Chain A
C-alpha cells in the first residue's frame, strides 16, 4: 500500500469537527492553528453549501509559533467573542498545536480566569490532523460536546436525540425529522446542519442562525439514536449518562429503512403513517421497474465509511448492482468483511475505471469521469459543481427512491445509446476512451 495520497478522498478530522460544530446554533468554530487551514476549509464549505460559513482562526504566526506562547489563543478567542457574540465555540486544534503539544483544556481554563465576565461556552475539540478522517473528526467533536452536557430528568418523554454523521446532507436530516415526527416523537438532531447550512435565511449573519441549541444542562431525552456507525462513540457516552441508545446504519435502501421504521413503530406504539407506507410501495415498484437496467452494470464508489456501508447495502445487496471497487477513508472493522473495500485515494479508483459503468464520489471524481467518459453521480464531500446538493435526500424510502431513479436513468440512457452505436445510426462519433 502506498503511504502517500494522489488526489485524496480523505478530508482531515479538522474539517469534520468543523462541520459538526457548525450544526450548533449561535456558534462559530475557531481553529487553533495557522490561518491557511481555516481558509481552505471555509472556501470548500462555502462552495459546497453555498451559504455563509462562520469560521475563525487563532492565526498562529511565526514568532508566536517559535515561542509557543498562548497569546494568540487568548487574543483570538476574545476577538471572536467580542465581534461575534457566540453562545458556544468549538475550539478545534490543527497541526501546529498538535505537534507543539498544546494543552487546550488548560488553556481554555486560563482564558476563563483572565476573562471572568465571558459567558460563551468554549469546548476544546482535540482532533488530530494525522489520524482518522473527516468522519471520525465529526464524531469526535460530537463526543467533546456531549461530554460536557448534564442531562436532567424531565417528565416530558417525547424528545428523541439523534446523532448525525459527517456524510448526511441537510436533506437527509429533514427527511428523518419528517419520519420521526410522523410517529408523534420530537426529534432533536445533534448536530443539525439542516438548520444552520440548509439555506432559507434572508439576512446576513456572523454566527450560525440555527442548529442544535447547546446548553450545559439539557432535558434528558427518552432515547438517543445514532445514524451511522461512526456515532457509536457518542452513543456510548450518552449510555454512560443513563440514556437509552440505539444505533442504525445510514438509512439508505429498503431494509435499513424498514428496520428504522419498525423500531420507531414499536417504540412509539404507533403504526407508520399512510404516506410513509405509500412511498415504501413506490420504492419497491421502482426497484422492479428498473432492475432490467442493472444487469451487468458496475459501480465504483469512493465515500466515507458510513455512506459506503449505506450505499453497499442498497446498491449491491438490494439492487444487485455489482460494485467494482469501494474506496474509503479508513478501514473500519465492519467494512473489512466486504471484499471490494479498499482504503485509498481517487488514484486507486483509476485502476478500475475501464471496468466501471458509473462512478459515485465527490466533485473530484470529474478528474476520472472526464478522462474515462464514465458518468459521475456526485455524492459525499465536497460537491462544488452541483446546485442543491446539500438539499438532496439519500435517506429513508424517499431518498432511496430518488437515488434509485437517478442511477437507473443513467443506465437506461447508457443502454439506449449503446443500441444506436452499432453502425452509428445516430451519426454521432463516440470518444475512443468511452467505456460501454
Chain B
C-alpha cells in the first residue's frame, strides 16, 4: 500500500511542470482544507455511466449521505442516482472483506442487470491492505460482465486527483474493449462534460445539425458501450480543462487521436470549440459549414442578447465559482454586458490563470486565490 501511494506522487511530479505540480498534487493543509477526496472525484467522473453499477467498498461515511446528490442528468437510466456500499464493519476490517465485496457485486448484478460494474476503493478498504484489482478480477469471472476497479481511496489526494484516477481506470480497463457498429469521418468524443443540469443536451443539436457525430461522451449521459469504443473517435474535446486532460493525452499517445481543450461557456468559446473540431477533423466541406453556422448563430444570439446587454451594462460582477470554470464564466459574463471586476482562481488550471492575467492586464482587477464568505462580503462592501 505504502509503495503505491508514494509512487503515484512521484509520477505526478515527474510528469507535471513545476507549477503543475503545485496545483495538482497540492497537499491538503490540515485545519485549512475543505474539498472532496479522490473517491468523490472518481465518482464525479464515472457516475454518469448509468447503465453501469457503481459500488463503493466503504463504511457508511463515504456513501451514507452523498448519493443522489449530483446535478447530472441521463437518458440511459437512473442508476447514477443510486448509492451502493458494502457497508464495511469491524469484522470486515479484521477478517478481510473480499468475500463481502464479491457477494455484493454478485447480488447487485442479479438485481439490476447492469452492463458493467465500477468498484471504488476508499480509505478504510485500502488501509486493510485490500487488493481491489484481484477482487475485481475474481468477481468478473463470476458475473461475466466487466468489473472495473477504481483505485480511489480518499487519502491519496483531492477531488481533481480522483478525476484523474477515474480517467486512468477508463483508459486501462474500458476504452478500447469494444468496437462501434460503424465509424464515420466526423466521429468525435467529448471528454469531461458530465451533463450537469442537462448542459450537454444544448450542444448535441449543434453537432447534429453540422453532421458531426458524437461517437462517445465521457461521461455525460453515456452508456458503458460508447465509452468502451471511444478510441475510434477522430477528435477529442476536453471540456473541463483540469480534470481529464491526462486521459486525452494518454489516448493521443496510444491511438493518435488529436485533442483540444475547449468549452461551451459563452458565444465565442462555443464558436471556437466548433471551429477547432472542424480543424482537427480536417474536412474542408465541414469547415465551411461550421464557419457559416457559427456566423449565423452568433448573429442570432447577438440580436437576442441586445436587450439584456443594455440592461446589464455597468453592472459589476465578481466571480467566485469554486469550480474550474472561472475563466469561461468571465468571458461569458462579459459577453452578456457585465463588467467583471475580478475572479476567484481556486481550482483553476495554470493555463487558465495565465489567460486571466493576460485578460485583466493593466486593469485594476482582483484575482482571489482562496476566498471565504468574509472576503467576498468585503469586496461587496468596497465596491
B88 adjacent to chain A (CB < 8 Å): yes
Cβ A35 vs Cβ B33 within 8 A: yes
Closest to B57 in A: A4
Q: Which of A261-292 contact B (CB under 8 A)?
A: none
State how many angstroms separate the Cβ of A345 from the closest Cβ of chain B: 9
Cβ B128 vs Cβ A99 within 8 A: yes
Cβ B61 vs Cβ A40 within 8 A: yes
B59 adjacent to chain A (CB < 8 Å): yes
When the two chains form the complex, which single residue of B28, B67, B83, B123 contacts A59, counting CB atoms closer than 8 Å? B28
B362 adjacent to chain A (CB < 8 Å): no
Contacts of B367 in A (CB 8 A): none
A96 adjacent to chain B (CB < 8 Å): yes
Give Cα A76 to B372, complex, Å. Answer: 18
Give Cα A189 to B69, complex, Å. Answer: 32
A148 adjacent to chain B (CB < 8 Å): no
Cβ B60 vs Cβ A10 within 8 A: yes
With A5-B84, A15-B65, A30-B31 given, is the CB distance from A36 to B38 under 8 Å?
yes
Chain B proximity mask over A39-53: 1 for CB below 8 Å, otherwise 0? 111111001000010
Chain B proximity mask over A42-80: 1 for CB below 8 Å, otherwise 0? 111001000010011111111101100001110111111
Chain B proximity mask over A80-117: 1 for CB below 8 Å, otherwise 0? 10010000000000111001100000000000000000
B19 adjacent to chain A (CB < 8 Å): no
Contacts of A58 in B (CB 8 A): 30-31
Contacts of A75 in B (CB 8 A): 30-31
Give Cα A133 to B60, complex, Å. Answer: 9
B319 adjacent to chain A (CB < 8 Å): no
Cβ B61 vs Cβ A39 within 8 A: no
Cβ A59 vs Cβ B36 within 8 A: no
With A60-B155, A62-B155 given, is the CB distance from A95 to B30 under 8 Å?
no
Contacts of B40 in A (CB 8 A): 36, 39-40
Cβ B68 vs Cβ A2 within 8 A: no
When the two chains form the complex, which single residue of A14, A34, A55 contacts B123, counting CB atoms closer than 8 Å? A34
Contacts of B64 in A (CB 8 A): 8, 10-12, 15, 134
B377 adjacent to chain A (CB < 8 Å): yes
B209 adjacent to chain A (CB < 8 Å): no
B353 adjacent to chain A (CB < 8 Å): no
Give Cα A134 to B32, complex, Å. Answer: 25
Chain A proximity mask over B359-374: 1 for CB below 8 Å, otherwise 0? 0000000000000111
Closest to A4 in B: B104
State how many angstroms separate the Cβ of A371 from the closest Cβ of chain B: 8
B218 adjacent to chain A (CB < 8 Å): no
Chain B, interface size category, equals 35 or more
Q: Which of B2-10, B172-180, B256-264 contacts A (4 or more CB under 8 A)?
A: B2-10
State how many angstroms separate the Cβ of A369 from the closest Cβ of chain B: 12
Contacts of B92 in A (CB 8 A): 130
B238 adjacent to chain A (CB < 8 Å): no
State how many angstroms separate the Cβ of A367 from the closest Cβ of chain B: 6
B37 adjacent to chain A (CB < 8 Å): yes
B145 adjacent to chain A (CB < 8 Å): no
State how many angstroms separate the Cβ of A18 from the closest Cβ of chain B: 11
B66 adjacent to chain A (CB < 8 Å): yes
Cβ B85 vs Cβ A130 within 8 A: no
When the two chains form the complex, which single residue of A4, A33, A55, A206 contacts B85, counting CB atoms closer than 8 Å? A4
Give Cα A2 to B5, complex, Å. Answer: 33
B158 adjacent to chain A (CB < 8 Å): yes
Cβ B66 vs Cβ A40 within 8 A: yes
A3 adjacent to chain B (CB < 8 Å): yes
State how many angstroms separate the Cβ of A16 from the closest Cβ of chain B: 10
B299 adjacent to chain A (CB < 8 Å): no
Cβ A76 vs Cβ B124 within 8 A: no
Cβ B34 vs Cβ A78 within 8 A: no
Cβ A44 vs Cβ B65 within 8 A: yes
Give Cα A14 to B60, complex, Å. Answer: 9
Q: Which of A13-43 contact B (CB under 8 A)?
A: 14-15, 30, 33-43
With A40-B66, A43-B69, A367-B78 given, is the CB distance from A61 to B27 under 8 Å?
yes
29 residue pairs A–B, Cβ–Cβ below 8 Å: A2-B107, A4-B84, A4-B87, A4-B100, A8-B63, A10-B64, A34-B154, A35-B28, A36-B37, A36-B123, A37-B154, A40-B40, A40-B62, A41-B61, A56-B32, A56-B34, A57-B33, A58-B31, A59-B30, A61-B157, A62-B9, A63-B9, A65-B127, A72-B30, A79-B29, A96-B124, A129-B61, A131-B90, A367-B68
Residues of chain A having any CB pair with chain B under 8 Å: 2-8, 10-12, 14-15, 30, 33-44, 47, 52, 55-63, 65-66, 71-73, 75-80, 83, 94-96, 99-100, 128-131, 133-134, 204, 206, 363-364, 366-367, 371, 381-382, 384
Closest 8 CB pairs of A and B: A36-B37, A79-B31, A76-B30, A76-B31, A36-B154, A59-B28, A62-B5, A12-B61
- 13 additional A-B pairs beyond A6-B82, A66-B5, A75-B31, beta carbons within 8 Å, are A4-B104, A5-B83, A6-B83, A39-B34, A39-B159, A56-B33, A57-B31, A62-B155, A83-B31, A94-B61, A99-B127, A130-B88, A363-B68
